[in-house]
Structure 1
Amino acid sequence: MKKLFVAAICLATFASCATQSSLYSWYDSEDATYKYTKRTTDETLTEAMAQYEKVIKKQKGLRGVVPPGVNAEYGYLLCKAGKKEEGLALLRAEIAAYPESEKFISRIIKQLEK
């Protein structure tokens, strides 16, 4: 009985050490965003936009959806890069995916539509 108890404890301990999958796949979007905000150039903008596009198109997280804020950030960058319609569509997609963001994102949309 004592051996069974020790085995159960060991099994529980090893099971808790297993790696857990993330809810979202971020790839290197955090680093690209940091580089862009630290030093705004066309090169860092292109890199950040490429990483956001990768996060959106190749989502492999447990939830299988785009992480909160990614559509909004990428949409805003697209608007700044002159692709206003694509950017506004992504901002609206952020609201559709995360309705709690509507108050904030709708203000951004209104400012960009002026």
Structure 2
Amino acid sequence: MAIGIYTTVASDEDARALARAALDRRLCACVHLEPIESLYRWKGELCEDREVRILFKTIESRRAALEALIAGSHGYETPAIWTVRFDGVDPAYAAWIESEAGG
């Protein structure tokens, strides 16, 4: 099953390094990088930062390894890592994700 795993990082350089590491290990088929602005509370303070949101397109069997890579490589004390299930994916595209993610 095709899934997406999201995280956010502090910089474009961090995002590209994490994306390349995941692709090199065949833990995902594709990575999208998006600049975003985040407003959040951290340790009682209101924070506003520019970040990069990363979407890894992968398969369920690669989930644990990809999440471990993200957690182990992340610069944040408490990184956001979450998964979304892809519904209604074109069968050819889903097969491409599976083949490229080492499935």
What range describes the TM-score normalised by the shorter chain of this pair?
under 0.3
- Higher relative CO (Cα under 8 Å, sequence separation at least 6) belongs to 2
The TM-score with structure 1 as length reference comes to 0.23
Bigger Rg over Cα = 1
**Greater percentage in helix:** 1
**Greater percentage in strand:** 2
